[in-house]
Structure 1
Amino acid sequence: MNKKRPLQAEDLLEYEIVSDPNFTPSGNAYTYVSTTINEKKEYESQLFFQKLDSNQRQQWTFSKNKNTNILISPDGKKAVFQSDRSGTQQLWLLPMQGGEAQQLTKLKHGASNPIWGPDSNTLIFSAPIEPEEDINNLTEISTEEKDKEQKELAKRPLVVNRLKYKSDSNGFHDQKRSQLFVLDIRTGNLEQLTNAPADHLLQDVSPNGNEILFIANLREEEDYEQVDDLFVLERSSKKVKKLTDSKCTYQRAVYSPDGNKIAAFGHNFTYAGATLTDLYIFNTGSYEKSNLSAEWDIQLGDAMIGDTRLGKSESGPIWAKDGKNIFFLATDYGVTGLYQVNLTGELDVLYKGSHHVFSFSYNGHSDSFILGISTPTNPCNFYHLKKNGEFNRLTDFNSALLSKLTLAEPETITVPTMDGEEIQGWLLHPSVYQDGEKYPMILEIHGGPHAMYGQTYFHELQLLAAKGYVVVYANPRGSHGYGQEFVNACRTDYGNGDYTDLMEVVDYVLTNFDFIDKDRLGVTGGSYGGFMTNWIVGHTNRFKAAVTQRSISNWLSFYGVSDIGFFFNEWEHGLNLLDDPKKLWDISPLKYAKNVETPLLILHGEKDFRCPVEQGEQLFITLKHLRKEVEFVRFPDANHELSRSGKPEMRIERLNHICRWFEKL
């Protein structure tokens, strides 16, 4: 029997992360995407097929690329998927009976998000295109030509004339916009359906194939707004009808099986970015809207924070085969589960445990579900849930690796606060734990702030426990999972109630767990958690080491350098830069740099456009000039997603730097 060992940072390279489970039309099998890190330390995604009554899986793709987003045609004879094997992400066709994949699109800028038409012969998809480009003369270019083009562009100045000119996910924007296309796979005929100067986000195709549902902001004020409207495009005439009033934002819109209704997630910004998501129903005859979730107090969708999720995940809404119920994931009290609602708003829980349901697929023939589930000690597996409640595990991913590791099961804590709130959190014991010994503790703080820690696998937390630390993580006010009032409670109050919540969590565990050494405390967090780490070390010296990641130090400059700064300050602080700069400075950690006595490690990605690297630079230079103990690590080519989907070697470097710094405890 193998002796178990503590987790290592490099174990990140060994995980198999699965995503996007999808039933075949018959309901007796399913497909999914598996992402691993190959010998070149690059992400590689492959497509798999597995029957429900078999433990054996069939691998459908083998190219050392990213093969994703597989969809089987309604007639069950073929499948479309996305792949970058040609050098650009394109659509490929795979016959179900076996054989080589056939490349369907060869567009210069690629293609994505395909949806089958009901005839199984047409595909509707999205593709970026510049305003004057002609799709008939827009063929895919080679990797060498693409590199040459990029080098030429790098020599030219960037002309900026839009407010939204960059994003953390895509870098600097150009003139390309995502348009909708339809492809006849029999003839190869390709037709462009939209051309407005805006991104068109494909949502669904009506059951009769005559209408296409998409989301966009087609208003002249689009550059200054965060709203997104729902539109219907009539295939034959290409006429576009707007369904909504430009006062909300919508996502994940889908037709009912009979085409008479549309279900969509959305919210009206009542609490800005802290507004809970609602479930809306539109009648396709009158397009009247009703809110099924008006009386609920839960966050729809998946708000769980983790660092091992990769790939596409379905959170709903999905219609039942009879059109009388709708299925979706929701986030509540540290877990995500599968829910059902009927058209009168009656809500039922179909599956909810001490787990993270990260994706699901529904099949009308079998009236059952495949659930993708993560637990605190297992990154991912698939399960079969029948409507009668029967629940079976289908897979055993990562079992060889996990059988070698000593992993920590979290202990749930509930911390009463002085102002009457209850803060949910968790504690991981160190893997070397022995009764009677004292151990250093690290407080982890999540980003968002409107997100949630919970019952999911978290490599970084397990690594710190493996290194001998007690790890404490909690959901202070501002977190999702505890209702609208709670998630809104940190807005216009950063550094006050949220800071007090975290300090009361620390006080609670020091009082109730006598194996924690109160003189050896560390703190770390990223994004909002980085802001809070910076705030903490400027307001207390109780921590002996701190690591701030992709953080915010100065809200004044954040307004102008972040891809979201121009609206985020108003959303979260109720402040605009020119209206009251003093108040923004008062809640900026940089103001309190003279108070910092805690050794601070600053980690930041060079290409982070969400919390730009200048935020880390300002803090480092100020502390260094004050002769404080501080170190700055800058990660090349890394954006805000470094810890979750950054280059594998950089992710490991980041983890090793964190562990190195906390050796000071």
Structure 2
Amino acid sequence: MVQNKRGITAEDFYRMRYTSDPQLSPDGKAVAYVQTMVDDDRSYRNHLFIQSMEDRTVTALTEGAVRDTSPRWSPDGSQICFVSKRSGTSQIWLIDAKGGEPKQLTRCKTGAANPVWSPDGKHIAFSSMMTADDSFEELESEEKKEAPKKAIVVNRMKYKSDDFGYVYDTTKHIAVVHVETGEITPLTKGDYLHTVGAWSPDGQWLAITANRVENTDTQHSVDVYLVPVGGGEWKKLTRSMGTFFFPSWSADSKKLSYMGSESPTQLIATQKKLWVTDLESGIQTCLTADWDVQVGDSTIGDVRSPGHPNPGGVWTTDGAGMYFIASERGNSGLYHATLNGEITQIVGGPRNIYGFSLHAEQNKAVIAVSDPFTPGDLYEVDLLTGEEVRLTDVNRELLAELELPEPIELEYEGQDGWKLHGWLLKPVGHKADQKYPMVLQIHGGPHSMYGNTFFHEFQLLAANGYAVLYTNPRGSLGYGEKFVQACCGDYGGNDYLDLMSAVKYACERFDWIDTDRLGVAGGSYGGFMTNWIVGQTKLFKAAVTDRSICNWLSFYGVSDIGYYFSAEEIQANPFDNPEKLWQHSPIRHVANIETPLLIMHGEQDHRCPIEQAEQLYIALQHQGKAPVSFIRFPGASHELSRSGDPVQRVLRLQYTAEWFDTYLHQTEKVVME
């Protein structure tokens, strides 16, 4: 081991910080950003900072027991609006860019989010979740708040959401607030979910995205609309044949870009592309049609929460092209595309660029970066030369204490000769003459990717003496359209064989891996696959499954996405082909499971509801064959391991490490399959 350094611990999470959502000022002289941390009371804190791009001085704009996010500069650079719960609910606040006391701008009954300034700086567009009876009125007093409902009438299929909880009577609407008077003007209505996009530079239109089809329960497309701010007829730019997000205007207000995919059948298992509509001619063009790469950041990590702000495609000043993030082979970088489809990588490498802000006139950007040794920091980039300068180093003290092994990149052949890709971490303090246990980690999605980003859980297992194998089997993003769709209708088929090929390859290449002490772990789809694996083979001596799926028949009706996810991913439903749902269900093979299994699940998980874990646990206990333990996390959603309660996240890591420590000991020899 490197002298004076140690392996990472689960509790080190409480000391970690990361930066996100960089926003360059209109004059390019400063960048505002969010820094996320865990306070002494084990609660999250989000504070806003401003860093000078000239002398690099850093100023804390907000502080204290608050969660302040989404900083956005006013067009003249004098103010910053942001979202905060400091008044009890999420509202829009204003603060002088030079500092001072924040001023609350909105007092909406249902909260406010996603602020976007008008070009003249007089208004801010925002969104709010609300019921049919709500309006953008002031918050109710405690005395006037309604008592809890005694009965709830549900009339639609999309009545719950892992993001928002129960939404049986909830819609999402957009309004505009006057910065000086606080007067609010609603822009949308109806039983639909609308998302704020971007204000046109001429101030006339607001580009938004929404699903406004006749039956939103069964038609899941998301379209791009132009809403006239002064009133009038909307313009629909897409054809309700896919999902589109992150609209962005050219400087002359004549073109609009957006990200998404157009397919009448594949809404989930498909790569996102970069699109442009010429608003004068109405011609829609896919700039990346011939580029078989995922547009946007698809990298999975466990320090930053998913869903960090995506600026979409950001235009050059001349309107001849735009900058955007794309994901390929475990890396996500910053790219430039011209209107004729020429694509150039600006900055890349073995890392995860998860956000950026552009100052087109000055040809510079600030990028948010993670790599296997960096949870999340900011860099300035010269867009002409690609030269980078580091701006933040928020974990310097913690990282100076740690020994973090460098991932070994792997390329190997899977089923049917498919080329596959992954990584291996050596145990901390690795010695060539010793044997070490190995844990196979399986990502969720399945349409996401492992890559060159910081992963606390992997480093923790390495610190505890394990090799950690993590790969991207078919179904993962980052390897082309054919690859991402290859698992559909075949869950537990070739994707399973890809993972087993990875284990075999690693064990044959690295003779210090002890094949008698192999473990497997995963969450969500990775939990499904963990459940499937232990029902297929006795190769693994311990397994950890969390937020998992074991029964596709019940998942269909209990998950917030089950009925349409199953149709696309398993390619079956209970009333047409229940046999296929059962065929792909791990619980079908529960009698074969002899591997000690730790089951962990959040009690408020609407994506993979806890009944999935309950079924598996009871079935295993009833048989009395394999050691099994069930850990429930009260109040936790599907985001348990990524943005869940900090204490629960640390407990989950501790339980994982303890389970493998208990069961990955010397056992009788098992022949590799």
Shorter-chain TM-score range: over 0.9
Shift of 1:243: 2.1
Provide, for residues 576-600 of structure 1, a one-character-per-residue CA deviation record: whole Å limited to 9, x for no partner: 1111111211111001011111011
Provide, for residues 354-383 of structure 1, a one-character-per-residue CA deviation record: whole Å limited to 9, x for no partner: 111111110023111111111101111111
1:273 aligns with 2:292: no
TM-score when normalising by structure 1: 0.97
1:336 aligns with 2:336: no
> Of 556, 576, 594, which aligns to 2:553?
556
Is the 8 Å Cα contact of residues 212 and 233 (structure 1) preserved in structure 2?
yes
Aligned length: 658
CA–CA distance in 1 between the matches of 2:77 and 2:308? 22
CA–CA distance in 1 between the matches of 2:420 and 2:3? 39
CA–CA distance in 1 between the matches of 2:240 and 2:266? 16
Is the 8 Å Cα contact of residues 69 and 312 (structure 1) preserved in structure 2?
no
Could you tell me which amino acid in structure 2 is paired with residue 189 of structure 1? E
CA–CA distance in 2 between the matches of 1:460 and 1:89? 31
1:232 aligns with 2:219: no
**1:448 corresponds to which residue?**
445
Deviates more, 1:163-172 or 1:92-101: 92-101
Shift of 1:441: 0.5
Shift of 1:204: 0.8
**1:304 corresponds to which residue?**
299
1:592 aligns with 2:599: no
Question: Where in structure 2 are there 5+ consecutive unaligned residues?
Answer: 665-673
**1:211 corresponds to which residue?**
205
2:487 match: secondary structure: coil
**2:518 corresponds to which residue?**
521
Is the 8 Å Cα contact of residues 246 and 310 (structure 2) preserved in structure 1?
no
Could you tell me which amino acid in structure 2 is paired with residue 209 of structure 1? G
1:497 aligns with 2:494: yes
**1:317 corresponds to which residue?**
313
Could you tell me which amino acid in structure 2 is paired with residue 169 of structure 1? D
Shift of 1:271: 3.5
**2:187 corresponds to which residue?**
193
1:49 match: secondary structure: strand
CA–CA distance in 1 between the matches of 2:288 and 2:351? 23
2:392 match: secondary structure: coil
1:30 match: secondary structure: strand
Is the 8 Å Cα contact of residues 522 and 545 (structure 2) preserved in structure 1?
yes
Is the 8 Å Cα contact of residues 315 and 322 (structure 2) preserved in structure 1?
yes
CA–CA distance in 2 between the matches of 1:174 and 1:494? 31
Is the 8 Å Cα contact of residues 262 and 284 (structure 1) preserved in structure 2?
yes
- Percent identity over the alignment? 45
Shift of 1:313: 3.0
Deviates more, 1:311-320 or 1:197-206: 311-320
**1:415 corresponds to which residue?**
412
Shift of 1:28: 1.9
Is the 8 Å Cα contact of residues 302 and 315 (structure 1) preserved in structure 2?
no
Could you tell me which amino acid in structure 1 is paired with residue 154 of structure 2? V
1:556 match: secondary structure: helix
CA–CA distance in 2 between the matches of 1:357 and 1:37? 23
1:297-446 mapped onto 2 (5 Å cutoff): 297-310=292-305, 312-386=308-382, 387-446=384-443
CA–CA distance in 1 between the matches of 2:427 and 2:285? 50
> Of 240, 243, 249, which aligns to 2:237?
243
**2:217 corresponds to which residue?**
223
CA–CA distance in 1 between the matches of 2:48 and 2:460? 30
**1:159 corresponds to which residue?**
153
> Of 459, 463, 488, which aligns to 1:462?
459
CA–CA distance in 1 between the matches of 2:240 and 2:595? 48
CA–CA distance in 1 between the matches of 2:270 and 2:82? 34
Question: Where in structure 1 are there 5+ consecutive unaligned residues?
Answer: none
**2:536 corresponds to which residue?**
539
**2:283 corresponds to which residue?**
288
Shift of 1:174: 4.1
1:635 aligns with 2:633: yes
1:6 match: secondary structure: coil
Provide, for residues 198-257 of structure 1, a one-character-per-residue CA deviation record: whole Å limited to 9, x for no partner: 111111111111111111122221121110111111122243222222112110111111
Could you tell me which amino acid in structure 2 is paired with residue 520 of structure 1? R
1:642 match: secondary structure: coil
Shift of 1:134: 4.1
Is the 8 Å Cα contact of residues 440 and 519 (structure 2) preserved in structure 1?
yes
**1:56 corresponds to which residue?**
57
1:538 match: secondary structure: helix
2:124 match: secondary structure: strand
1:567 aligns with 2:564: yes
1:34 match: secondary structure: strand
> Of 646, 649, 656, which aligns to 1:648?
646
2:417 match: secondary structure: coil
Could you tell me which amino acid in structure 2 is paired with residue 452 of structure 1? M
Is the 8 Å Cα contact of residues 2 and 404 (structure 1) preserved in structure 2?
no
Deviates more, 1:213-222 or 1:583-592: 213-222
Could you tell me which amino acid in structure 2 is paired with residue 645 of structure 1? S
Could you tell me which amino acid in structure 1 is paired with residue 194 of structure 2? H
**2:527 corresponds to which residue?**
530
Shift of 1:51: 0.8
TM-score when normalising by structure 2: 0.96
